[in-house]
Amino acid sequence: MTLIIIFAAMLVLVFFGIPILLSIASVSLVGAMVIPGLVPALVPQKAFAMLDSFSLLALPYFILAGAIMTRGGLSGGLIEFSQALVGHIRGSLGHTAVLSCTAMANISGSSTAEAAAVGSVTIPAMKERGYKPGLAAAIVAAAATIGPIIPPSMTMIVYGSITGVSIGGLFMAGVIPGLMIAALLMAVIYALSYLPSNAALRATQPRSSLKQIYKETLRVWPALMAPVVIMGGILSGIFTATEAGVVACVYSLIVSKVWYRQLQWKDLPSVLVDAAVTTAMVAGVLGMAGVLGWLLNYLDFNDTVLGALKGVTDSSLLMLTLLVVIMLVLTMILDGLAVVVVMVPTIVYVGSAFHIDPLQLGIIMVMITQIGGLTPPVAILLFITTSIAKIPFAQGVHAVWPFLGVVVLVMISIMLFPEIVTWLPNKVIGGG
């Protein structure tokens, strides 16, 4: 009964517009006050314990690296490079958005950052070319989901720090699913160009010459080398995933100052402040979600869920489906990162009992948070892109379903064929 009251209270607070951080903190604090054997002083103690993790030190560094590269001219260069590659294909600007998000995913690791950075350039351009504003917003929102799937990924870092799963293994596991989503999104955009209502998608530009492609490649190659530096260092053992965040910061600063020359020393204070604010928001959610997760564990939530689900099925695939449905419902109405922190210990506990691969489960959890970012009523990614497009939220929702279907299809493929995520880690680092 106590568990039901906790979840009901949190949902009521969220429903009335209370920020997720305050909702979780309020429920946790009241729970610590009224549950026998607990005291309020445990709340800050458990919040600090959640954040006291070497692995989580990577978060502020990767956030700062992404902020430096975005301010340093990375997004504009990648967009022009992508346009040179796919400008001659139907739906060229849509393909450009997808490729730009895929390239930026190697640095930012955040879907919201990608939606804002890529959307601010490509959505106005698509509108000028006659794309329906809702379609333009939906394309960028869906493409931004690739950000946390292709490494580095903040969600993977959090998942790995909570579960003990190799972060390097998770990084490698996300490569193939991320590329699958990119390819299928481009296929959907190309298919939509044949609909009579999408005549604007059929407009193309002349095929870029090899000289033009070479010129654009020369311009962006330092940015394209970022994942080689980061993943190469992790896989070779030169530095850990946490230390890779520091390397990413130094590398992004050098590239932005020396190569692109758009970042000035006077810009650094504002970049640092922006990164600090983002880090504080993420850390606040992580800390309070950690308190709630500890509270649920104190109330034997893991065993309660496992017992209930075991009474439903003995099939690992059906169990995985049930876990996915539960997480999808939660991420549709709550912040995805908070859901990961609160629910992943339970999800992994149940998954272990049914012998579900932790890498497979980790990538599925990351993808679920992104599906929640595209699905009403919250749909934070659509909210960002429709705001950039200056259109009602409903227009983006109306256009997003084919692209949402792509992400769901890839997730189902991973559920049925775990080798999609386990093959590369096993091949490169022996299973992470």
* pLDDT tens-place values along the chain, 432 residues long: 687 888 888 888 888 878 888 888 999 999 999 888 888 889 999 999 888 888 888 888 888 887 887 777 676 677 788 888 887 888 888 999 999 889 888 777 788 888 888 888 889 989 988 899 999 999 999 999 998 999 888 889 889 988 889 888 999 999 999 999 999 999 999 999 998 888 888 877 788 888 888 888 888 888 778 778 888 888 788 888 788 888 888 888 888 888 877 788 888 899 899 889 988 988 888 899 889 989 988 888 888 888 888 888 888 999 999 999 989 988 888 888 888 888 888 999 999 999 999 999 999 999 999 999 899 887 889 999 999 999 999 999 999 999 999 999 999 999 999 999 999 998 887 644
Q: What is the pLDDT of residue 146?
A: 94
Kindly report, residue by residue over 155-189, the tens digit of the pLDDT: 898 899 888 898 889 999 999 999 999 999 999 99
Query: How confident is the model at residue 305, as a pLDDT?
Result: 86
- The secondary structure of residue 34, as a DSSP letter, is H
Residue 431 is predicted with a pLDDT of 46
144 near 115, Cβ under 8 Å?
Answer: yes
Backbone conformation region of residue 294, classed left if phi is above 0, alpha if psi is from -120 to 50, else beta: alpha
For residue 432, the model assigns a pLDDT of: 43
pLDDT at 239: 84
pTM here? 0.86
User: Prior bond to 152 cis, omega within 30?
Assistant: yes
351 exposure class (CB count in 10 Å sphere: 0-12, 13-18, 19+): buried
Alpha helix (H) residue ranges in 375-418: 380-389, 393-416
Residue written as token pair 């890779």: 244
Contact present, 322 and 309 (Cβ < 8 Å):
yes
What pLDDT, on a 0 to 100 scale, did the predictor assign at position 430?
Answer: 63
Cα distance between residue 151 and residue 321, in whole Å: 25
Q: Where are the alpha helices (DSSP H) in 145-240?
A: 154-163, 167-173, 175-192, 210-224, 226-236
Give the per-residue pLDDT at 215.
85
Would the CA dihedral through 106, 108, 111, 113 be positive or negative?
A: negative
